[in-house]
Amino acid sequence: MLSNTCKYGIRAVIYLAVNQIEGKKIGIKKISEELTLPAPFLGKILQMLAKKKMLASTKGPNGGFSLAKDAEDITLFDIVEAIDGTDVFEQCMIGLKICEDDKSKEEKCPFHEKSSVVRTKFYNAFKQQTVKDFSTGIKNADEILTF
């Protein structure tokens, strides 16, 4: 479904939203320990997101990462788009030829209608769910975010 890289990114961004303190940054080491995932790899992922202006980073002591915008303005879709791209929302789920909704019905496969309904719901779920939904909804973040 989503790559591990992307899942790590999602967990990290949620972690930042849940634990953010106005004006402070959180370091890679801290995040990677809490989420029990490899620090250097996490670094790369967060760098990606920083480049896309979803996160802000500062170097040096007390440096680290923080959300670059309001948690309510970051959706799951945004994170997936930044890391895995949008293929998962667009491509044919079963790998058949062109799977586009704007084709005449004759050209579509028998699975097409059901398939596109599911894919739309999938897309909407990711587009609607903001990071803020997690930070307000999660009490025991550790239980949910860690492994």
- Piece of the chain touching DNA by CB under 7 A; list 37-45, 73-81, 91-99, 122-130: 37-45
Which of residues 9, 11, 18, 65 is near DNA by CB under 7 A?
65
Both tokens of residue 20?
Answer: 């953010």
Restricting to residues 77-116, name those near DNA by CB under 7 A: none
The helix (run of H) or strand (run of E) holding residue 57 is strand 55-58
121 binds, among its own copies, DNA, ligand FES, none (CB under 5 to 8 A by kind): its own copies
Could you say whether residue 109 binds ligand FES (CB under 6 A)? yes
Which of residues 46, 80, 88, 131 is near DNA by CB under 7 A?
46
Q: What's the rounded Cα separation, in Å, for the pair 7 and 129? A: 15
What residues form DSSP beta bridges with 64? 58
Q: What's the rounded Cα separation, in Å, for the pair 126 and 114? A: 19
* Amino acid, res. 100: E
Could you say whether residue 92 binds ligand FES (CB under 6 A)? yes
Both tokens of residue 129?
Answer: 């769910």
Are the beta carbons of 74 and 13 closer than 8 angstroms?
yes
Q: What's the rounded Cα separation, in Å, for the pair 23 and 44? A: 23
Enumerate binding residues for ligand FES (CB under 6 A). 92, 94, 96, 99, 108-109, 111-112, 115
Enumerate binding residues for DNA (CB under 7 A). 3-5, 8, 25, 27-29, 37-38, 40-41, 43-44, 46-47, 50-51, 57-65
